[in-house]
Structure formats: structure tokens, C-alpha cells
Structure 1
Amino acid sequence: MSLTHTTINKLTPTEKCTPNRPDKYSDGDGLQLWVRHTGNKVWISAYRWQGKQQTLTLGKYPVLSLQDARKRNLEIKQMLADGINPKEKKKEQQASQDGTRLFDTIAQKWYAERKTFLAPSTFSRNYSAYLRDVKPVIGHKVIDDITSPDILTIGKNVESRGANEMARRIMAEVGQIFKHAIRAGLATHNPASDLSAAIKPHKTKNHSRITSKELPQLLKDINDYTGHITVKLGLLFLCYTFVRTNELRFMEWSEIDWNDKTWRIPAEKMKMDRPHVVPLAPSVLEILKQIKALGFSDQYVFYNPSTRKPYSQNAFINALYQMGYKYKMTGHGFRGLASTTLHEKGYMHEAIELQLAHEQENKISKAYNGAQHLGYRRDMMNEWADYINYICRNGVGR
């Protein structure tokens, strides 16, 4: 039965209506009215192109009346009869019109503003994700024609790669762009709201790591390693300092304060975008002096002269594999090993967390100070180094 204005005006979302499954009412000949969970009513033209079912958004009711929607639906049928893809035709029309309402135009301005205050590493990560995952799907669309299913498609595509949290973050960022557009008068609604529940929670996987009882054998195997000397020293450095592998890889000589015996990592190199201080025990300084004497690079500490750039993360992983620690130990595993052992030895939890540069959930962390408890942490790191040295000398822990 064909729709009427009276019927349309009485339509409200049913109990079965969800953000991803609107109520659908047919007017015939492929013209449908979709009623969303928000109460918005959108005209959709359904058709087949090259054997595949397609839909094209025509506009919102009542801005686009029933009569006008039928007229536009007939135009689409004529395009199909003429062998024209309606979606491609719509893109061409949009490209020839004022592009200020295209999603990509709005997004590019939003990212340009973000670039002025975000850390370079954070901006690069977010913007690269936009170019890779968002722009190809909705960048060419007029912003008010974008639907929740369009955005959910983006999230599901990312989720299919196993990147659940990234999927949530990308959809949330799309939502922020819509909020920006609404404030600027370029959009009327935000279809990215309330979509995060559609992405399955990420299942946390613990990084493989040995126990403290296995540490003596690991240290012996590292000392016996015959591969690249800088990789060998890098593994020892990870054991002494338990920093993240990426922090180690891009360590620069200019960040080392030899007099203060500290390594000061700038915020843009840290996962949490905050500067970090690593006290350097005498044994760690000796490692750095050994590397310095090799003269491989005036900039990077863990520099591969063969590739003329810092060692890759795989260099350290592969070295552990060669020693027989595949599925048993990773570069990140040194962090869990140190955390567990230091907690067992009774060191202050907050100091351990600060040294690990973890994101803390309490209010104190909001005013994070990289030098907090530095004196205590310096003693802790020196004592941890003494513990590692004792194992190296005696082959057992204490």
C-alpha cells in the first residue's frame, strides 16, 4: 500500500527499532521510508545495480516531501534504464556543487585544528586512521546523508582486523567531527552516537613472559647470545630498565643526562603523551658507554648500521626466538617480570607504576609529574640492577 502524508506523520519508532535496524515502510517501486530510533524519517531508494542490491539516501522527511521523494525515485529508475549508476551520478553532482558540506571537507578542517595542540605522534596516529579507514567510506558524502549504518560499517571493518579498541576510537572521533559540524551549522544530527556497544569488548591478552625463577637462565642466554652486539645490549637494557621496546628503539643520546644519571624521554615518544624519567643505575650506564664506544650513530643509541636507522622491534623479538623463548618471552615481558618481582619484594606500588609509565586511574595521576618519587625510584632502580647483577654472577636469585 502506498504511503500518505497522514500515515507518515503518525509513524513513530517501534520497539524493534534500533540504531542499526530502522523501521522500513514501502511506498512501492523501491521507494522506502526509514524511521530511525531517534524519530528521524529518511527517504531511501532501493534498487539493483549489476546484480547487487543497493540503496541510495534521497533526503529527510518532511524537508523532502512524499511527492518530491517519488519524483527523485523515478529519476533513479530512469538512470538505471540508461545504464547510469545512481550513486556515481550523485558523487559527480556533489563534486560539482559547493563542497563545504562534504564530510571530508569538514573533517580536514577539524584535523587541522587538532594538529595545533595534539602531540605529533597522537595526531599522526589519528589522522592516518582517518585516511585509511574513514575517508574511503564516507569522505565523499554530504554530511547529512551519512547514516549510522555507514559509520558502523567503518567500525566493523576495523574490528575485523582484531583492532576492537581502535574501532571504538575511530567511531568516537567521527562523532566528534559530527559535533563540530553541528556547532558550525553544517549538520543537523549525529549518527555516530551510541554505536560503541556494537563493537565487541577487546579481550586482553597478556604478553608472554617468563617467571622470576626462569630469569637466571634468560640472563645466561642473553650473555651467551652471539648476534648483533647492540641487540644483545638492548635486551640487557630492557631487563635493567623495563621500558617499552619502542622507547628503547628510538632512544637518543641527547636525552641522556650523564651527570644526573637519568634518561629523560620527551612526551611525544611516550604512549601516554607525558614526559618520563628513567633513573640509570651504574650497570646501565656501562651498557650505554659500550654502545657509545662502537660509534654507530651520533643520534640514536640502538642504531643498526646495516639499515642506517634504529633497530626494528623484530630484531629484539627474533633474538629471543633464537634463544628458544618463542611464546615464552617478549620485549614487553620484561615489564611484567619487573613489576611482579618488585611488588613481591615490597616496593611501593605507586613508584613501580610511575616507573612503568602506566596510566593510573586515580585523580592524583591527572597531575602527573615525571619526577614524582624520583629519589625513591632511583634507589629502587639501583637495587633492581644489583638484583640482576647478583643473578648474573651467581646464576640464582636472592
Structure 2
Amino acid sequence: MSLTDTKIRSLKYIPESRYKNWYSDGNGLYLVVEKTKKVWRLRYKLKEWKTHKPFTIGEYPYMSLAEARKKAIELKSLVQKGIDLQKWKKQKELEKERLQNRKRVSDLVEEDLDIQKQNVSESRFKKNYVGTFNNYVIPFIGEKFIEDVTKQDILNLIKEVPKIKLKNDTRSVNKTYKAKEVLHILRDLFEFGIDNDYLDYNPAYNIKIDRILPQHKEQHISALLDIDDLRELYKKILNIENPITSKIIQFQALTILRNGNIRNLRWEYINWEKKRYYLSKRSNESYT
């Protein structure tokens, strides 16, 4: 006879664990009453087997009678297809574990940054790695699982990079230099994922920036050629409130040195007697 909820509730737990009572509900489904619990199980048998095997479905009352019957029908359909329920369960558990351990792009970035932090200077690490990831990568694909990132995702991201204008960034937004940098850092990121067996494919591989973004044309600042304009500019330099800034710009205006030459200039490069300065200690090129 089929089981009922009333009958199941009335079944007493077996006081000694070495004894078990089981009660059939039909179609291979039965209830096992143990020392402290009542467990649903299903008897099943593949065509090539000689005997049946038990398969645990759930525990009563967490799985009701109606739910156990419905689950038994679903499992029976798998058995009819030649599927061993024990192997099927193990596969499901492995799949569940894999899904729980799936990494998002933001997770991979965090791991990669832990490595990069040890290999570069602190300033470069913050600007070229942390800053680049936070400003150009995480907002677009940070929440995606790494194995779900496609080449099209990378293409869409790269096309957006030149349009991004960051706070306190004085450079033109329509440059491709940052897009190239972001693409390079993404290639390294996914290679890091491959090296650590997180994925098998690098979606940033084999993408050519020049094929998806127009080449940037340099536009130089116009030179001041009129003497009156030069005088006006020099007056403004003399009126700069910060004396250090004013002297530096005066020096640059009078010597016509590039920024890099000024930054690297040393006192020993200057010949006070001849009133000349040299670009380096060994330089033969001098300026009055």
C-alpha cells in the first residue's frame, strides 16, 4: 500500500541503530526509518545489472511525500536512459563545486595585482595597473565570469577606452595610446588565468588596435612667432605668484630647454666662467 503523511508521522524511530525498517510507496520509492531520521530512497536497476541499487533522495519532513514521489519519477526517467544515478549525483556535485569556484574578472584582477605588486615600483603599480584596471576594465567586464568573456566583449571595451575622460586628466580623450595599454594589460591578465588553469582561451589574443580604432593624428600646439605675443607671454610668466614655478618657466623660456633636460640638469653641468651649460657631464654640446 502507498504511504500517507499520517502514516509517515506515526512511524517511530528505531532505538537501536543496527535495526532499520523500510516502508514502500511503490515505483521503487521507499522510506527508511533509522535511529534519528526518516530517509527517502529509490531502488533502481540498469539493464546490464543483476541487482538493484539504493539511491538516497532526501530526508523527511524536509522533503515531503509529494516531493519525493515527483523526484522519484524524474530519477526513473534518467535510469531509463541508461544513467547510473550514483555517477550522475557525483557529477552534479563536481559541477556544483566548479560553479562555486568560478572566478569573475575582478577576482582574477585581484590575484594578478598581488603578483604585479612585487615586480614593479609602487608608483607604476598604482598608475599603470590598479588605475588602468579600475578605470577601464572593471566597469565593463569586472562582474563577468572569466570563461564567459568573449572576444567581442574585449572589442567593445577597447572601443570605449579612448572616449573615457578621467578627472584631472589634461590629455586628449581621443587617443589610442590608452586603448593599446589596456589591450596589453588584458592579454597579460588572461594569460595569467591560463597559466593558473582557470581558463583555456585568451579572448584578448590576436586583436589589432589599428583595425578597430582610427590612428590618432598628433596636433601640436601652435608656436608664438610674433614678438609682441612673446613679450606678453613673458610678462605673464614674471607675474606668476609661486616664485619657484616662475623661475623654472623663466629658465625654460630663456634657455629653450626641453622639460626632460631641465629635470635632469645638474649644477656641475654649468660652466660659470664661460657662462655655458651642458646637457650632461660628458656632453660636448654646450649652450650660452
TM-score (norm 2): 0.50
How far off is 1:215 after superposition?
7.2
- Answer yes or no: is 1:149 the counterpart of 2:162: no
Q: Distance in 1 between matches of 2:116 and 2:126?
A: 11
Q: Distance in 2 between matches of 1:170 and 1:135?
A: 11
Q: Distance in 2 between matches of 1:256 and 1:204?
A: 28
1:222-247 C-alpha deviation (Å, 9 max, x unpaired): 257333243331211223373438x9
Quickly say closer, same or farther: Cα 1:221–1:170, change in 2 above 3 A: closer
Q: Distance in 2 between matches of 1:234 and 1:182?
A: 50
Structure 1, gaps ≥5 residues long: 1-92, 263-278, 286-350, 356-370, 387-398
Match of 1:132 among 132, 135, 152: 135
Greater RCO (CA < 8 Å, at least 6 residues apart): 1
- Answer yes or no: is 1:226 the counterpart of 2:239: yes
Q: Distance in 2 between matches of 1:256 and 1:244?
A: 10
Contact 1:222/1:235 (<8 A) preserved = no
Structure 2, gaps ≥5 residues long: 1-95, 164-172
The equivalent residue for 1:193 is 205
| Percent identity between the two aligned chains | 17
Q: Distance in 2 between matches of 1:209 and 1:280?
A: 28
Give RMSD over aligned pairs. Answer: 3.6
Contact 1:175/1:193 (<8 A) preserved = yes
How far off is 1:185 after superposition?
0.9
Quickly say closer, same or farther: Cα 1:244–1:119, change in 2 above 3 A: farther
Contact 1:223/1:232 (<8 A) preserved = no
Match of 2:257 among 242, 254, 268: 242
Quickly say closer, same or farther: Cα 1:256–1:198, change in 2 above 3 A: closer
How far off is 1:140 after superposition?
1.5
1:199-237 C-alpha deviation (Å, 9 max, x unpaired): 2222122233335xx579736852573332433312112
The equivalent residue for 1:204 is 218
What is the correspondence of 1:73-152 to structure 2 with a 5 Å cutoff? 97-99=100-102, 101-126=103-128, 127-152=130-155
1:28-61 C-alpha deviation (Å, 9 max, x unpaired): xxxxxxxxxxxxxxxxxxxxxxxxxxxxxxxxxx
1:298-338 C-alpha deviation (Å, 9 max, x unpaired): xxxxxxxxxxxxxxxxxxxxxxxxxxxxxxxxxxxxxxxxx
Quickly say closer, same or farther: Cα 1:165–1:111, change in 2 above 3 A: same
1:124-168 C-alpha deviation (Å, 9 max, x unpaired): 222202101101211221111001121122211112241311012
Q: Distance in 1 between matches of 2:231 and 2:247?
A: 11
How far off is 1:174 after superposition?
0.4
Question: Helix, strand or coil: the match of 1:233?
Answer: helix
1:43-102 C-alpha deviation (Å, 9 max, x unpaired): xxxxxxxxxxxxxxxxxxxxxxxxxxxxxxxxxxxxxxxxxxxxxxxxxx99x9225x22
TM-score (norm 1): 0.37
